[in-house]
Chain A
Amino acid sequence: MKNEGRKRIWAEYQKKIADDHFFYVRSCIRQSFFPGSEQFFLNFMRDVLGKDVYENPSHTTCTGIGYHGDIVPFSTIMTVVARHFALMTEAGYKNIAISCVTSFGIYTEIIETWKHFPEELEKTREYLYKATGREFNIPENMAHTSDIIYKFRNEIAEKAKNPLINRQTGDPLRVVEHIGCHYSKMFPKYGVGGAEFPRVLSGMAEAWGGEVIDYPERRHCCGFGFRQYLVQANRGYSISNTVKKFDSMKPFKPDLVLTNCPGCNMFMDKWQYTIREMEGTTYGENGESIPVLTYEELAGLVMGYNPWDLGLQYHMVQSEPLLRKMGVEFDGQDKFKTKDGRQMPVPENLINV
């Protein structure tokens, strides 16, 4: 195929991402497990790029976990999301930036439902008005925050202090990119590269100097799958998926896993500990486990932020092997210290220390 044809087809897989003025909605999981990620995004957008990002303290959960766990009905979640849109409309914003892939999937599903079934939109408007007296507009542009970091990946590359290069060998770091299923597998047009060629994370990794690994189970689910893990007895299904994925990537010797979904990040991180406890298996080199990072944490490392300010110490699998490879300067003593120098309790059983 000629290059022009290739370009035309690839253009169809692209997504329009707004440039400025975002209404920011946070994730439930990320605020607890990866506390530095959302903070990095806000600092980077506001202080480094000078963009307008607004967040409203009245924003709530999207109830996605309850919805996928068969507890919250569809009409309820539509009304909750409509309330988020009402907050956005009241604040005068038209572009929404969503931090969570579950929420992103919920928003896309609801907007597509309203397009195909306008009567559902009318019902939702009525429910919301009766319950809260609010009215709303549908956002003009909807972007996941990984889309926005992807859009500004070259700006980050220009400011890179620690590119994704192994300082000891000079080779690019080997990155496994894992994209949340609800990002573009349900509604491909909302994702960069669609469902077939998701480019959002591989684009970042390559722009920052890394090498993306293509392994057999690259598009396999991480094992999160709400219903599998909500019931304890069913968690075997969840962890078996994770084992399948890690077994497949192990021969390619990845240096890190990069994710854009809170669930994937949490499970690929914490299940590595569980698998080690259950079977004694580890997936990194020299008996270590593979650090699992969010795209904001990786962007922060590349830009030279302090790893403990980014919250890397709150992962189950610690990132020291990766930090040494990247040549990031860090002090292990400061890991669990507050800003004013007080020592916090140190968790037991940390991996990779």
Chain B
Amino acid sequence: MEKFGFKLSKPRVIDFDRNDKSVAEFIHANEPSFRLCIECGGCSATCTAGNFIPFSLRELHILLKRGETEKVKDNIEKCMLCGKCSLVCPRGVNTRNIIELAKRAFKIPELHAV
């Protein structure tokens, strides 16, 4: 509420103690190649959706690992599951499965809730 002529700025600190890492843990458990990602950005560079709209699989990957799941929730539906990212990944990460698992986790919270 801007009552006094100024506003509160929310801190931009990544608070690992408070963030919810249960989605990332659920993906780790079901798709071990999630750990192999080196965040090179090959997936984002080749992404069909990312060429036209603001969408980056690399960014979502990092956000999931940090536990900032709200931002992932809003963006993950933009993926068209074309699979080009899996073809270019130098580490052989099964990116399509990661997307599917994340979507499932958001749809059925009981799967990963602590």
Residues of A bordering B, CB below 8 Å = 232-237, 239-240, 243-244, 274-275, 277-279
Contact = CB atoms under 8 A, between A and B. Distances in A.
Contact of A232 (B1, B3, B6, B10): B6
B6 A239 contact: yes
Interface in B1-39: 1, 3-11
B6 A235 contact: yes
Contacts of B4: 232, 235, 274, 277-278
Contact of B8 (A232, A233, A234, A243): A243
Contact of B5 (A233, A244, A277): A233
Nearest to B4: A274
Nearest to B1: A278
Contact of A233 (B3, B6, B11): B6
A247 to B, nearest CB: 9
Nearest to A237: B9
A206 to B, nearest CB: 29
Interface residues of B, number: 10
B1 to A, nearest CB: 5
13 contacts: A232-B4, A232-B5, A233-B6, A235-B4, A235-B5, A235-B6, A236-B8, A240-B9, A277-B4, A278-B3, A278-B4, A279-B1, A279-B8
Dominant secondary structure of chain A at its interface with chain B: helix
Contacts of B8: 236, 239-240, 243, 275, 278-279
A243 B7 CA distance: 12
Given A274-B4, A278-B4, A244 B11 contact: yes
Given A278-B1, A279-B1, A236 B11 contact: no
A339 B11 CA distance: 47
Report, nearest first, the 10 A-B pairs whose CB atoms are least far apart.
Answer: A236-B6, A235-B6, A240-B9, A232-B5, A236-B7, A278-B1, A236-B9, A240-B8, A239-B8, A233-B6
A275 B6 CA distance: 12
Contacts of B1: 277-279
Nearest to B10: A240
B3 A277 contact: yes
Nearest to B11: A244
The CB with the most chain B CB atoms within 10 A, among A232, A233, A240, is that of A240
A221 to B, nearest CB: 14
A239 B11 CA distance: 12
B11 to A, nearest CB: 6
B3 to A, nearest CB: 6
B8 to A, nearest CB: 6
A237 B11 CA distance: 10
Nearest to B17: A216
Contacts of B10: 240
B4 to A, nearest CB: 6
A274 B3 CA distance: 9
A277 B1 CA distance: 9
A344 B9 CA distance: 38
Contacts of A239: 6, 8
A234 B8 CA distance: 10
B9 to A, nearest CB: 4
Given A240-B11, A244-B11, A234 B3 contact: no
A233 to B, nearest CB: 6
Contacts of A243: 8
Given A232-B4, A239-B8, 15 more contacts: A232-B6, A233-B5, A236-B6, A236-B7, A236-B8, A236-B9, A239-B6, A240-B11, A274-B4, A277-B3, A278-B3, A278-B4, A278-B8, A279-B1, A279-B8
A107 to B, nearest CB: 32
A274 B7 CA distance: 11
A275 B1 CA distance: 10
Nearest to B7: A236
A285 B1 CA distance: 24
A232 B7 CA distance: 10
B45 to A, nearest CB: 36
